[in-house]
Structure 1
């Protein structure tokens, strides 16, 4: 890629509050996974709608993608676009899968009784495939949870984000606003159907037809709605946007289940409203936000910087935590919360260390030589 384009993309102003909101959502994802072992189903999870953070990430990504690249295509090839995306995303994918592999044989639990029977070559094969973010077939499900990425569960959402990136670069970036609006409308209908039929949009991490359809449905509306929003939104100036948007994100994701077992469709409506209306509103407000102080700017930068490393690095630690909960039958969240808090804080420290000692240096090296 030409150096002038690299400099232009690197120096183009971005939205610091949106960076901060990504970090807020990533922290809530960690709390979602730490509370999950105490639930018996989607109906009684403590952080009940934490799964919607993925849909929020998709919408943020679509918005930022449109803002960063829509007006650059006369200076950039599709190949250069993908090179930039790989340099941005893959180093942490590699680290996340490596951390999962390192911890794989140490998670003794009744949840995964066959882990120690998995040959080393098979685990290494799963790790190497994971480095590419391509999903592994069920025949390589070495953990037994039917996950696309048994060494680091959260990799599934990166797989679908890559699909959205490919669709954007190869095809959908050329859409007019009208055509893109039609696509987003059709995707919204599919999303509502999924949510109301299933009672929620949770799913997408297994390599079978049903789950892949869920994953595609989950990514298509928010990602391309974010792209559309970036093309039509005219941000204003809103004070205290970080505070209010963070509160909205927290309220949405911590909201208890709606409707219960008898009225699953009500929760489906809640998910639909959040993804189709509330999340675009939050992104618009965040993009309109005005930094109030240097301290607020530093907070947003820190949260934005750790968001992606935190998302990729926390789950290998969560596997140990889940195993510990499983091995101590009767453990309550009241007893476990100090350990959960310790893991949350440790995950944030690990994410920051990964950012400074690994992710940023590796990306800098890759940009220099590739």
Structure 2
């Protein structure tokens, strides 16, 4: 079985996209006048990266007999430790607030248990209308793990033809959804949770197809600069009536991903991309509870504009520091332990 190659430039893009999401939530909750208007499209970019990386890492393994359950176990080992940490942080914030009254602790615990399983819940609908009220960004991880499972289940029939059909259907869903809603910023609310399914199909299938059929040898030095157009897309002001989002997902993101996947080795930038990649997942998963809590403290103290900017900067710094600590001292050791414990069952499942 061939050894898989690591795409450091893609790690860098993932980190930039995760920071854009944090910036969007920080500017929203602190009510700052400047916002990265299309940073929500980072989710669609994550889905495309997921399709590319999953196909690159697991096509050969599934072709050589890796089963669906071992595949799912490996994916859950990768995702679940930080999911549980994000849920724990969000639950802790809710429980502290529940002590002040107005929140039913049983509903908080019900939401926590459901969200920890990457399932949506209406448990806290009266307080927060999100499908994942304990840690809202988990909604996209739910769709990612579900489409990962579909990829493994349908792997034997994922030919160029069927993937092309999925791409056409997914593009139709993206276009119709974006035009109907004025953009793609949907899927996180309880009542519109199903719309996340319309967002995930095209980018994931596109990522798989780019990985299988358009991958090339690393040779493009300028491809390291793909973070610049990515930032321009994510930070563009909200406008276009849905057409901007359509162009970003159907045209810009595939081009950016393909170019970055062909980036040459860079002694100056590869270490930076590696660090951004390591931070991207913990930053995305654990930032939301801190943003909500610190912004609420600022609002309760009637902070002015300057204090709000300071609170926003402090929040981002706290998230970055705690994400780095979580990645090194929690996520990596837990995943290593889980991999060791599950190695014999996974080997037996593959043999069976």
Decide: shared fold, TM above 0.5: yes
Residues 14-70 of structure 1 deviation map (CA, whole Å, 9 limit, x = unaligned): 211111110111111111101113669xxx872110100101100100111111111
Match for residue 366 of structure 1?
Answer: 338
Report the Cα offset of residue 206 of structure 1: 2.6
Number of paired residues?
A: 340
TM superposition shift of 1:325: 4.7
The alpha carbon displacement at 1:122 in A equals 2.9
Q: Which residue of 2 aligns with 1:32?
A: 24
Go from structure 1 to structure 2 and tell me whether the alpha carbon gap of 1:134 and 1:27 turns closer, same or farther (over 3 Å shift): same
Q: Matched residues in 2 for 1:45 and 1:201: separation? A: 20
Q: Corresponding residue for 2:14?
A: 22
Q: Work out the CA distance in 2 between the residues paired with 1:119 and 1:217.
A: 33
**Segments ≥4 residues shifted beyond 6 Å:** none
- Cα distance, 1:324 vs structure 2: 3.2
Matched residue, 1:213: 194
Q: Secondary structure at the match of 1:48?
A: coil
Aligned runs of 1:173-212 on 2, under 5 Å? 174-208=157-191, 211-212=192-193
Which residue does 1:261 correspond to in 2?
Answer: none
**The one of 79, 88, 92 aligned to 2:78:** 88
Structure 1 residue 226 corresponds to structure 2 residue 211? no
Residues 38 and 45 in structure 1, CA contact (< 8 A), matched pair in contact too: no
| Aligned counterpart, 2:248 | 274
Match of 1:68 among 57, 60, 66: 57
Which of 103, 107, 112 aligns to 1:122? It is 107
Distance 1:161 1:223 in 2: 9
Once the two structures are superposed, the pairs formed by residues 1-370 of structure 1 within 5 Å of their partners are 12-37=4-29, 46-73=35-62, 74-106=64-96, 116-136=101-121, 138=122, 140-141=123-124, 144-171=127-154, 174-208=157-191, 211-236=192-217, 237-242=219-224, 244-258=225-239, 266-293=240-267, 295-327=268-300, 331-332=304-305, 334-370=306-342
What displacement does 1:342 show? 1.7
Contact 1:24 1:246 survives alignment (8 Å): yes
- Three-state SS of the structure 1 residue aligned to 2:134 is coil
CA contact (8 A) 2:68 2:149 kept: no
Unmatched runs of 5 consecutive residues or more in structure 1: 109-113, 259-265
- Could you say what secondary structure the match of 2:23 adopts? helix
Q: Given the superposition, is the C-alpha separation of residues 292 and 86 from structure 1 closer, same or farther in structure 2, using an over 3 Å criterion?
A: same
8 Å Cα contact 2:120-2:131 kept in structure 1 = yes
User: How far, CA to CA, are the matches of 1:46 and 1:13 in structure 2?
Assistant: 36
CA deviation string 1:48-100 (max 9, x = no partner)? 10100101100100111111111211231111100100100001100000011
| Displacement of 1:148 | 1.5
| Secondary structure of the structure 1 residue equivalent to 2:241 | helix
Q: Do the aligned partners of residues 107 and 50 (structure 1) sit closer, same or farther apart at CA in structure 2, a change above 3 Å counting?
A: farther
Using structure 2 for the length normalisation, give the TM-score: 0.90
**Alpha carbon RMSD of aligned pairs, Å?**
2.2
Whole-angstrom CA distance in 1 between matches of 2:274 and 2:143: 26
| Higher alpha-carbon deviation: 223-232 or 321-330 | 321-330
